[in-house]
Each structure stands twice: as structure tokens, then as C-alpha cells.
Amino acid sequence: MKPERFPDMPMLKIIYLTAVLALTLTQLTADAMAQPGLDIIKEGRQLARKNCTRCHAIDMTGKSPHKDAPPFREVVKRYSVWSLAEAFAEGITTGHPDMPEFKFNPKEITALLSFMESLEDKPRQPTPGKEQSE
């Protein structure tokens, strides 16, 4: 006769605890995988707040402080977000007439574009870091 591993525990309880453990691990794994995306969006929002809010509204509501600077929620309707990557890398020189020139490093570009993409009603491209042609 084979010895039982958990002689005092009914089989249904073992099955139940195993299922709870499996679901918990699945949820923890999903949360861990989702977190980097949330962090990059948060970084992008902080970057936008630091560099862009003097002129642009960066949230889903609100008016831009500069009359010629469109809110970010409108920019993402006019342009494919990831097509702006090159402009951010080389330095944006167009926009509203008195817009300062900004240059961002690759990590900052990914963060800023991820944040801007989060403002879209329906993201056009689910994978950050890849340019999308129009």
C-alpha cells in the first residue's frame, strides 16, 4: 500500500487548494507582465508633463494653454503616434510657430509615444517601439 501525502486532508480540499494556487500564480504572472507597459506610460506622462504642458493639454480633457498648440488627444487623432518617433529623435521643429525644439533619446521616445498612444480611443499599434507608416 502506498502512503498518502496528505492523509488528514480530503481529496476535494486538495483539488480546491491546487486550483486556487494555480489561479493565483496565473494572476501574479499576468500582473507582472502588464506592469512594464504601465510603467512606460507613466514615464511618458511625466516626460510630457515636464516638457509639453506649458503649451499642450496632455490629458483626455482640458484646453491647451497655448492657443496654437493642439491637445495631445487631438494630435493622436491627426497623426499615427508611432510615425512621430523620427521627429522626436531628430528634434521637432514644426508644430505651433513658437514651439521649442525637443530631442529625446530612444527610451524617452518610447515612453512618450506609449503615453500618447494611451490617449487614443483605440490604439492603432499594440507593440511600442515599432514605427507605423501611414
Answering whether pTM is above 0.85, one says no
Residue 106 sits in a domain whose CATH number is: 1.10.760.10
Classify residue 41: in a domain, yes or no. Answer: yes
What total number of domains does the chain contain? 1
Asked, for residue 86, whether it belongs to a domain, the answer is yes
Res 5: pLDDT:
63
19: confidence class by pLDDT, cuts 50, 70, 90: low
The answer to whether position 30 is within a domain reads: no
Task: Supply the pLDDT for residue 6.
Answer: 58
pLDDT at 24 over 60: no
Residue 78 domain flag: yes
> DSSP letters along 47-80, please?
HHHHHHTTT---SSS---SSTTS--HHHHHHHS-
Nearest to 107 by CA among 56, 43, 12: 43
1 occurs within a structural domain: no
Domain that holds residue 97: 36-118
- Consecutive H or E run containing 23: helix 11-52
pLDDT of residue 40: 92
The predicted structure's pLDDT at residue 10: 72
Q: Is 101 a member of any domain?
A: yes
Q: Does any domain span residue 2?
A: no
The pLDDT tens digits of the residues spanning 55-103 come to 999 999 999 999 989 999 999 998 888 888 888 887 776 666 777 777 7
DSSP class per residue in 76-118: HHHS-GGGGHHHHHH-B--SSTTPPPB---HHHHHHHHHHHHH
